[in-house]
Structure 1
């Protein structure tokens, strides 16, 4: 079949790769000049199966109420006169009900574990270098009450087969000596050895090159303007290239993997897509003293900030801002990342050469992504992965290719 994939982040590129491996003729369309130029460009770079937990949980509403007036809060709502945002917020509150949490956790963990396995197989087969480390992920805590609560979360993860081990402060420092200067402020941690980290931009760019060599056609600097339907089926996608030239790209199947911009594309066809952008920030610093910089990927639970070593760089990322589609950098939130990083790893990095970035994570109210066929028979979605796009990207692409090819995916997941 002729399959048209809209979007070339990790989700779209993975989908295109696996569709081509299944024997389909694949065309990828993206408005950027190359792959992974938006949300997949500079995220936290963790493959975090152990922390595949939804934001929506019974404790979330109270935390959000405390954070409303805090400019550097980990999760920040800025309400607008946008009924899509209000509907999303109402759906989010519904997902905070206790009965919905286990189902959402199970779906996220299943897809995340399957995707990590898929990534490992791809890495072995394709030999793609992307500054990856297989040293696990540590989540450390500063508050005793939060540390105690984390042990309950770790118990839940173990029920789903995730070995999330509790660490004392002494065990933490032995595993990651770079945290020793701040160990007096840390009450404990948990650790998952099977998790990984690596540069999603490098991986996606290299995978796009492999896909192109295998016959996938990439059309970059090309804006998707609308889907053209006839008789309840999508017949073509309307595009405009960098020179203003109009074109129709026909296909048998269409995959919408445009992240936060997917809803606007599919809404005219009556396709529901409860996705809203959650703006995240990152800062990347050159490492000047490798003995003081971490090598194990870390998560500071109190600030919801992650730290991933990428060769001679340290990527620091976190926070989520539900405030519309602007990618404008908030100085307060950028400076908060540097202040926290300087406090944890003094003398390890060149803080004068920092590179700040923001990206729009496509979030569903439950954090469970939308993968599968829509009410339009030849239109599929692969979006809504929130902060777990890198964690679930390779598996989502492979599972979608299976669905389109008429095969049953090898993962237990609530597909559309």
Structure 2
């Protein structure tokens, strides 16, 4: 079949790779000048199946209320005259019910495990170097309440096949000596030995190059105008190329993998997708004291900040801002990352030579992505991965390629029909 993939982030490129591997003719279209230039550009770097607890859980409504008026809140909700935002918020509250939250966690874990295995398979087969470290993830706990909550979370994940256990502060220090600075503040940590870290941008660019060698056509700097539909089926995609010329691309199947922009394109075709952008920030800094910088990827649970070592740089990322489609860098949010990074790792980095970035994570209310056929025939979805696009990307692409090829994916997941 001829398949058009809309979007060249980690989700779209992974989908293109597995489609091409199955013998399909694939065209990838993206408005950027290359692969992984938007949400897949500078995220926190974690491949973190252990972080598969949905934002929408029974504790979330009280947290959101507590954070509502705080500019430094880890999750910042900025109310707007936006029906999509309010509808998403109401759906989020519904997904906080215990039964729904537990079901969503099962889905996220199943996809995360499948994707991590798929990523490792790609690494073996293609020899891609993306500054990967197989050092696990440590989640830092600074209060008794966090410790109690973490104990329950570890038990839940262990039942689902994810290795995650509690450590004492001394045991955490053995895993990561760079924690010596904050050892007196620690009450404990969670240890996830099978999780990893790496540079999603480098991975996606390398995989796109492998796709091109396999015959995948990439059309960058190309605006996607609309999905053209006839009798409930997508019949083509109208685009405007880098030269300003209008064109229509026809195919047997179309994959919508535009992240937070997926619902905007889908809406023009009469398809409502429950996806809303959650803006995240990152700071990338040169390491000047290697011994003071962590090699294990770190999650600071209280501040919702993650830290990953990427080569000779440190990536600090976090916060979520539900405020529409702006990618404007708010100085206050940027400063929060630097403040927390300094508090954790002192003089490990040159804090004056920082590169800030923001990106829009495509979040569904329950944090479970939309993967599978839509109600528009010939249109397939691969979007809504939220903060776990890097964790779930390779496996999502593999699973959707199976579905498009008429095969059954090798995981227990509720594939959608939106």
Aligning the two structures, in what range does the TM-score lie when normalised by the shorter sequence?
A: over 0.9
Per-residue CA distance 1:204-243 (angstroms, 9 max, x = gap) = 0000000001000000000101011122211110001222
Partner of 1:179: 179
SS in 1 for 2:237: strand
Equivalent residue, structure 2, for 1:124: 124
Q: Deviations 1:249-269 (Å, cap 9, x if unpaired)? A: 111100000000001111232
Report the alpha carbon displacement of residue 99 of structure 1 after superposing the two structures with TM: 1.5
Distance 2:318 2:14 in 1: 24
Separation (CA, whole Å) in 1 of partners of 2:319 and 2:75: 6
Question: Residue 240 of structure 2: SS of its match in structure 1?
Answer: strand
Distance 1:76 1:243 in 2: 40
Q: Structure 1 CA distance, aligned partners of 2:392 and 2:155? A: 22
Pairs within 5 Å for 1:213-224: 213-224=213-224
**Distance in 1 separating the partners of 2:30 and 2:239:** 10
Cα displacement string for residues 321-380 of structure 1 (whole angstroms, at most 9, x for unaligned residues): 000000000100100100111111111101011000000000000000000001112000
Asked if structure 1 preserves the Cα contact closer than 8 Å seen for 2:228 and 2:269, the reply is no
1:278 aligns with 2:261: no
Aligned to 1:93: 93
The CA distance in 2 between the partners of 1:75 and 1:347, in whole Å, is 28
Which structure 1 residue ranges, 4+ long, deviate > 3 Å from structure 2? none
Q: Following the alignment from structure 1 to structure 2, what is the Cα–Cα distance between the partners of residues 69 and 178?
A: 34
Which residue number corresponds to residue 409 of structure 1? 409
So what's the TM-score if we normalise by structure 2?
Answer: 0.99
Q: Partners of 2:88 and 2:54 in 1: how far apart?
A: 15
Please tell me whether residue 323 in structure 1 is matched to residue 323 in structure 2.
yes
Query: Which residue is 1:14 aligned to?
Result: 14
Aligned length in residues: 416
Give the secondary structure class of the aligned counterpart of 1:382.
Answer: strand
Please give the alpha-carbon distance, in whole angstroms, between the structure 2 residues aligned to 1:372 and 1:270: 18
**1:58-87 CA distances to partner (integer Å, 9 max, x unpaired)?**
100111111111111110100100000000
**Correspondence 1:384-399 to 2 at 5 A:** 384-399=384-399
Query: What is the rounded CA distance, in whole Å, between the counterparts of 2:230 and 2:51 in structure 1?
Result: 43
Matched, 1:225 2:231: no
RMSD between superposed Cα atoms in Å? 0.7
Question: Gapped runs of 5+ residues in structure 1?
Answer: none
Q: Measure the CA separation in 2 of the matches of 1:69 and 1:232.
A: 44
What SS does the aligned partner of 2:411 have? Answer: coil
Q: Partner of 1:136 in structure 2?
A: 136
* In structure 2, C-alpha distance between the alignment counterparts of 1:243 and 1:325, rounded to whole Å: 26
Question: 1:264 and 2:264 equivalent?
Answer: yes
CA–CA distance in structure 1, aligned partners of residues 66 and 15 of structure 2: 40
Query: How many Å separate the matches in 2 of 1:117 and 1:171?
Result: 28
Structure 2: gaps spanning 5 or more residues = none
- Distance (whole Å) between structure 1 residues aligned to residue 265 and residue 348 of structure 2: 45
CA distance in 2, matches of 1:412, 1:29: 30
SS at match of 2:409: coil
Taking the aligned partners of 1:336 and 1:399, their CA distance within structure 2 comes to: 37
